[in-house]
Every structure is written in C-alpha cells, then in structure tokens.
Amino acid sequence: MKLRQCILKLILLTGGVFAREAIPFPGNADATTIRVGIYQNSPKIFTDDSGNPSGIFVEILQQIAQDFGWALEFVPGEWYENLQRLESGDIDLMPDVAYSDARAQQFDFNKITVLNNWAQIYTTTLSDIESVADLAGKTIVAMRDDYSYVEFKHTLVAFGIKCRFLEVDSFEEVFLALDDRRAEAGIISRFFGLSDHKEHDVRLTTIMCCPARLHFAVTKGDPKNLLVHIDASVKQMRDLDSSAYYLAIEKWLGQSAEWHLPIWMRHLSTFLLALFIALILAALLLRMQVKRITKKLESAQELVIQNQRLSALGEMASGIV
C-alpha cells in the first residue's frame, strides 16, 4: 500500500512539472490611462534622443499595456522626483524599483521579479582603489535615494569605514563627477555601467555590492488595480522564449533567449535535483544504519567470545580442583 501511495505521489508531481496550462488574464484595470514615471537609466529605462521612451522595462510595459488595453502616459523626471510623485499619487506606476522592506512601507510591488541587479564601484582611471577598505577617507558619489547607495552606506558603517558622500540626481552625473575628479569612487547600477562607462574617463573595480530584485511599483494600496495584471502578463512572457520580455533583454543586453531554458524544463530540473538530493540523503542514512547495526553485531560477537573464554577458564579451574 505504501509503495502504491508513493507511486501515485510521484505521478502527481511529474504531472505538475509537465503541465503548461495557459494562465487566464484578469479583467482590465480600474482605469485605462496609466501615468508612468520615467528617468534616465539606460538600458533599463530612459528617453532616447528623439524623446521616445525606451529600454527593457519600457518594452515589457508596452506589451503589458497591449495585453490589457492600457494607454501609457510617460512622465519624465529625476529618480527621486518620480518616487515622490508615486508616493503622492501624481503618477500611477514606476518601473525599475528595487524591492526593500523600507520601500514596501511606501509602495506596493508586483510579486514576480522582472530583473536582478547589483551595483559596481567605479573610480577615476588613476585610482588604486581595489577593495572596500581602500574607500576609507575617500569621497564617494552616488545617485540620491538609490537603493544601492542606501545599502552600501550601511555596509560601510558595519565595517567601520568612514567616507564622504556626494549626492547627485542621476547615474550620468555620477560618472561626470568622476570625470571632473569631484569624487574618487562612484556607485553605479551594473546595467547603466555596462552601457555608458566607455563614454567616461573611469575604471571599473572588482567591488560589487547590493544585490537587488527589480520590480514595478505602484502607489500604496494599488488604487488602479495594476499589480495583478502586471504579474499575469510578466509570468506568461517569462514562460515563452519568443516573448517581448526576452526580445527586450536580447535587444538591450545582447543576451539571446536561446540560453533560457523552457519553464517546464526548469521545473523538471528542479524536481530531478531534489530527487537526486533525496536519494543521496537516503543512501547516507542507510549507510549510517548499516554501520550502527554492524557495530552492534561486532559488540555482540565480542561479548560471545568473552563469555566463551570465561567458560573455558571456569572448566579449567574445575579440572584443577
């Protein structure tokens, strides 16, 4: 009976791995005109030379808007300005926002991570900064209210490293401050650094910090009911290699969707890995049990031998008497 139940559970698990049911989209949001904050952070989100919204997040959002019949109204501004607008309800949606517990008190986020990010430290070309310890006493430039800036400050405090900070309004200004030698190091998003560092007299160090999950954020309470629609659309796009999601990544980062495993294969790989670990653990447990039983048998055998010796000594003693 137990074997039958195990086989049934295995069938159910593998069935869940291979099933690829289409996820039905929820109904339209409460309002079809969505005001979206946009700032300069190429290649994720920016306004190009012709004044058109561009970047990875923009193209993903345009697909979401097409799915649900939304009209997108992009509102340009600096990073911190758009965060203030989002909190006050002057805009409805802000792409490219790193999730943190502190920000979750101000905004609501969609559940599915859109991109993973981290920060990198750039310096002037003649700088000898190579480690976090080398930043002691230096001036570090960072974008105001940037997630990586806030987190990196906490890291430096934890290590007891004292620095001076220069706050600017954009990542472009971070590079300009390094160009002008107003700072000796700068905190830059890996995506922006990848696309823009060659335009400046800067050097990339080996210092990386502040891993972040990038999401769409809305005004607290999600008054226009946007997040459930965003997650439904992002999930379908991430499950399909030819979707706008992977096309945008390939276009702006040069990473082909051919390298992304199909979703069913990812689930299958996870299942097989879990099964492999379970078998290894079972084998180790069995080996431990065998050793324990063997030790008990050896102890029992030793006891028998000792008893036999004592019995033999007793017989010898009786014979002598």
Two structure tokens written together for 112? 């599915």
What does pTM read for this prediction?
0.68
* Superfamily for domain range 23-115+214-263: Periplasmic binding protein-like II (3.40.190.10)
Amino acid 208: pLDDT: 93
pLDDT beyond 70 at 174? yes
Q: Which residues contact 230 (CB under 8 A, 6 or more apart)?
A: 64, 110, 216
Amino acid 195: pLDDT: 84
Two structure tokens written together for 193? 């650094």
- 221 Rama sector, left if φ>0, alpha if ψ -120 to 50, beta otherwise: left
**3-class secondary-structure state, position 164:** strand
- 47 Rama sector, left if φ>0, alpha if ψ -120 to 50, beta otherwise: beta
User: What's the rounded mean pLDDT across residues 128-148?
Assistant: 95
pLDDT beyond 80 at 263? no
Amino acid 304: pLDDT: 65
- What is the rounded distance in angstroms from the CA atom of residue 279 to the CA atom of residue 188? 44
User: What's the rounded mean pLDDT across residues 39-65?
Assistant: 96
Contact status, residue 79 vs residue 39, Cβ threshold 8 Å: yes
* Among candidate residues 71, 29, 31, the one with its CA nearest the CA of residue 231: 29
Strands 33-38 and 71-76, sheet pairing: parallel
Q: Which residues contact 130 (CB under 8 A, 6 or more apart)?
A: 205, 206, 207
* Superfamily for domain range 117-212: Periplasmic binding protein-like II (3.40.190.10)
Two structure tokens written together for 238? 């991430």
User: What's the rounded mean pLDDT across residues 131-149?
Assistant: 95
Domains 23-115+214-263 and 117-212 share a fold: yes
Share of the chain above pLDDT 90, in %: 65
Amino acid 269: pLDDT: 67
Count CB atoms within 10 A of the CB of residue 97. 26
pLDDT beyond 60 at 251? yes
pLDDT beyond 80 at 266? no
**3-class secondary-structure state, position 38:** strand
Contact status, residue 43 vs residue 253, Cβ threshold 8 Å: yes
Contact status, residue 164 vs residue 136, Cβ threshold 8 Å: no
- What is the rounded distance in angstroms from the CA atom of residue 268 to the CA atom of residue 321? 79
pLDDT beyond 60 at 11? no
Share of the chain above pLDDT 70, in %: 78
* pLDDT tens digits, 180-200: 999 999 999 999 998 888 889
- Domain map (residue ranges) of the chain: 23-115+214-263, 117-212, 264-321
Two structure tokens written together for 6? 């195990």
* pLDDT tens digits, 195-246: 888 889 999 999 999 999 999 999 999 999 999 999 999 999 999 989 999 9
140: Cα separation from own chain's centroid: 25
Beta bridge partners of 209: 119
Provide the pLDDT confidence category of residue 280 given band limits of 50, 70 and 90: confident
* Among candidate residues 71, 20, 55, the one with its CA nearest the CA of residue 241: 20
Amino acid 292: pLDDT: 80
Name the least confident of 48-57, 221-230, 295-304: 295-304
pLDDT beyond 50 at 139? yes
Count CB atoms within 10 A of the CB of residue 133. 9
pLDDT beyond 50 at 18? no
pLDDT beyond 90 at 144? yes
Strands 93-98 and 164-168, sheet pairing: unpaired
Mean pLDDT of the chain: 84
**3-class secondary-structure state, position 33:** strand
Q: 55-64 burial, b if ≥16 CB within 10 A, otherwise e?
A: bbbbbbbebb
Contact status, residue 33 vs residue 69, Cβ threshold 8 Å: no
